[in-house]
């Protein structure tokens, strides 16, 4: 048995890509997208007809509406290949606007419904800012399930649990990147691998807290840099993995053991915590890694959204 098949016995495997033509070979349950992944996909020749067809069908509409149609088109194509859910992201420029994020999430779901896709098969991705978490809480109350992305800290995870969001995506690789860069020449790769990887440790803390207190929000590790980070989180509710790393797992027949155990988490001695909005802002501010990576992630998604808009304008 290869490691990908072994991992599927412990964890729901999710493909992290906009390139739906790659999906079938890995047989993931769910799939996630983001502006960077969609940008990467539309620049491939095989997706040019899809872009042109989408723009042609909705000619004359505003750029933000065209963008949502494109995202939903990719989502619908992905859902033809997978049995589960697809995550579609709200414009990152709305990360600090609760009302606008709610409105955009509702519009995305309406567009999916117009294509015959039920809301139960879609997760609306929102950045885990205080405003984004508030938007997710409102969307969940309206029957729209959410995936809180760009999550780097325990305080964000606790706030998401209090908001009763469906799923969170803690970014393993980007946490690892920050600590590695911060350490500079003193970084010891071997000493910070596997269970000692700072990104892995962050997800383990969140997972154990959720399971200990019976929190229903799903934990989906994301943003992996290597297979060691993935195998160190075997047993997590879900893991969203790039096609490149899925292929590496499929090519590796080394044994894979359960790394996270919900039953063991229940027995831990943990204290419950909670954050109001001001408390969440302070906790994020006090965490240099989390606040820096959250801001950096939003900037990157905004930049890629702008690039995608330019491609759409040129193709229209």
State how beta strands 167-170 and 122-127 pair.
unpaired
Give the C-alpha distances (Å, rounded to integers) separating 34 from 19, 87, 213, 231, 301: 11, 8, 30, 24, 8
| 19 Cβ neighbours under 8 A, 6+ residues apart | 37, 40, 41, 44, 47, 243
Annotated active-site residue 125? The verdict is yes
Among candidate residues 125, 180, 201, 307, the one labeled active-site is 125
Helix axes 277-286, 288-315, angle to 10 degrees: 100
CA–CA separation, 155 and 159 (whole Å): 6
Structure tokens at 90: 């709200």
* Beta carbons within 10 angstroms of residue 44's beta carbon: 11
Residues with a catalytic annotation lie at 125
């Amino acid at each position: 048995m290869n490691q990908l098949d072994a991992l599927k016995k412990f964890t729901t495997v999710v493909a992290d890509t906009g390139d739906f033509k790659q999906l079938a070979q890995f047989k993931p349950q769910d799939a996630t997208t983001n502006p960077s992944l969609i940008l990467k996909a539309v620049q491939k020749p095989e997706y040019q007809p899809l872009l042109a067809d989408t723009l042609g069908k909705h000619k004359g509409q505003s750029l933000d509406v065209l963008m949502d149609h494109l995202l939903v088109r990719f989502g619908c194509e992905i859902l033809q290949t997978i049995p589960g859910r697809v995550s579609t992201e709200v414009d990152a420029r709305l990360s600090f606007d609760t009302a606008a994020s709610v409105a955009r999430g509702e519009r995305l779901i309406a567009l999916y419904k117009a294509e015959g896709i039920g809301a139960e098969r879609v997760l609306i991705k929102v950045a885990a800012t205080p405003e984004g978490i508030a938007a997710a809480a409102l969307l969940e109350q309206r029957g729209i399930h959410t995936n809180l992305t760009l999550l780097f800290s325990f305080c964000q995870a606790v706030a998401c649990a209090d908001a009763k969001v469906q799923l969170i995506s803690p970014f393993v690789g980007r946490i690892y990147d920050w600590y590695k860069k911060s350490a500079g020449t003193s970084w010891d790769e071997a000493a910070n691998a596997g269970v000692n990887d700072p990104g892995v440790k962050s997800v383990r803390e969140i997972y154990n807290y959720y399971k200990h207190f019976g929190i229903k929000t799903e934990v989906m590790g994301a943003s992996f840099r290597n297979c060691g980070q993935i195998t160190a989180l075997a047993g997590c509710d879900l893991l969203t993995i790039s096609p490149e790393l899925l292929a590496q797992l499929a090519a590796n027949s080394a044994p894979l053991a359960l790394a996270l155990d919900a039953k063991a988490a229940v027995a831990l001695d943990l204290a419950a915590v909670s954050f109001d909005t001001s408390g969440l802002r302070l906790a994020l501010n006090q965490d240099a890694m989390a606040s820096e990576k959250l801001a950096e992630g939003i900037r990157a998604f905004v930049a890629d959204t702008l690039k995608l808009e330019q491609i759409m304008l040129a193709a229209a």
